[in-house]
Amino acid sequence: CKNGETIKRGSTLVKWDPHRTPILAEKSGRVEFVDIEIGETVREEDAGRGQKALVVIEHKGDLHPQINIVDDDGNILDFHYLPAKARLEVADGEEIGAGHMVARQPRSAAGSADIVGGLPRVTEIFEARKPKDPAFMSEISGIVEILSDKRKGKMTIRVVSDSGIEKDHHVPNDKALLVHAGDYVQAGDPLTEGPLVPHDILKIRGEEALWQYMLDEVQNVYRAQGVPINDKHIEMVLSAMLRKVRVENPGDTDLLPHEIVDKFTFRQTNNKIANMVRVTDAGSTPLRVGDLLEKDVVKEANAKAEAEGGEIAKTKRARPAAGRTLLLGITKAALSSDSFLSGASFQESTKVLTEASLRGAEDELVGLKENVLLGHLIPAGTGFRKYQDIRVKTLVSPEELEEYMSDEEFYEDAMDEAELANEDDALSTPQVEVKDVMVGEGSPEAAETTEG
């Protein structure tokens, strides 16, 4: 139908082909075929009613079939690469307008996902596998340029950022494009059809984007079957998959380049040197150049040097380590556990135990699985070591209790004792709160908990 047209009930409003994606001309002009040769890059097919249609075939070589839109002077106004299986809808030399369909390409049944659903899809996500025939993702944000250079078997998609940085993506000719020249894309946007690669999402868009993508993908599988599942169960698995860090730059820490460490260890190491400085000039202090020391130690040495009329030491801030989060499949994440007992109980037991014995590994038994194996209390709830190490000591003996003249005096003295004990506790161990209760003769001893 057309705008302003009078229609009747039951009239067709829109027609479209659900099995093919149209390639539309963005500029008006004359069609010019480039590298479209029958038998080399295209073949003829029967289109019905005695007509023939040209279909692009898969090919290798220096020929790159494309349609140029040119003006009367032969200047190229627009051009379109033709992927394999695309059917041409225009003839060479035909005059067309903007919005005219120049070709149609078939839709892939699995164009957006390699495995559409079910447990195989969940397994693919949790094992962090690279999907078959994945999409190419833009590595930077910027304007898309499609270059018509002659690259064997591939086309070049260039993304130019606002600051002028250029990044080329070499895409096979048979890949269906999702972008056109002049489009603005964000870093991580797919340039071609196909499933996304989780490792590329982590590299380009970061950990938070990967976390949300994988969470949504797993939830989509369960929602499709009408199964509600809380996000926290999936997040527990994802946190284990993203708990390792590869050290890119060790800085002033004792980590090694390209070493793979636990994220907690990585943060703990950086926090350790956050309050440290490196000596660059010892001055009149007994410090040595290159020493990595606490700030308080340097201040004390400088104060002593100033008091003696000497030169103070010069320092610079300690450099923290820089690293990149790794994405490990659940199988590899389990085997790379700090506990060799936990890894050996999963699979590849002989290999895990052999490697642990060769490096003289020790298991600190701090995790859940290794404590379950040995029948120990699990580190959860009251099973945490902090609570297991609590000891009780008396603050008031029965003999001292008789010396108190009244219940009020006992309460005040017990409060004073508890406050002193809290101040002396350097480990910030939880203390039992003293309740405001009346204590009479024969009352139990006042008690306090301290770290053993």
For residue 190, what are the CA distances in angstroms to 187, 329, 446?
9, 23, 68
Question: What whole-number distance in Å separates Cα of residue 23 and Cα of residue 309?
Answer: 82
What phi and psi values does residue 425 have, to the nearest 5 degrees? -85, 100
Q: Are the CB atoms for 256 and 327 separated by under 8 Å?
A: no
Per-residue pLDDT of the chain (452 residues; tens, 9 = 90+): 677 888 888 888 777 777 777 888 888 899 988 888 888 888 888 777 767 888 888 776 677 788 888 888 888 888 787 888 888 888 888 888 888 888 888 776 544 444 456 788 888 899 999 888 899 999 999 999 887 665 666 788 899 999 989 999 988 877 778 888 788 999 999 998 888 999 999 999 999 999 999 999 999 988 888 888 999 999 999 998 999 999 999 999 999 999 999 999 999 999 999 889 998 888 888 888 888 888 888 898 888 888 888 888 888 999 999 999 999 998 888 888 888 888 888 888 898 899 889 989 888 888 888 889 889 888 888 888 788 788 877 777 767 666 654 556 666 766 777 676 666 554 444 444 444 444 444 444 444 444 44
What are the CB-based long-range contacts (under 8 Å, 24+) for 260-263? 260/326, 260/336, 261/323, 262/338, 263/325
Which uninterrupted H or E stretch holds 349? helix 349-358
DSSP 383: G
Amino acid at site 220: N
Which are the contacts of 37, defined by CB distance < 8 A and separation ≥ 6?
A: 63
Q: Are 338 and 261 in contact (CB under 8 A)?
A: no
Tell me 407's DSSP state. Answer: H
User: Residue 343, exposed/middle/buried by CB under 10 A (0-12, 13-18, 19+)?
Assistant: buried
Rg (CA), the chain: 35
Q: Two tokens at 229?
A: 């599942």
Alpha-carbon distance of 26 to 97, in angstroms, equals 8
List the strands of the sheet with 42-48, edge to edge. 20-24, 101-106, 87-88, 51-56, 42-48
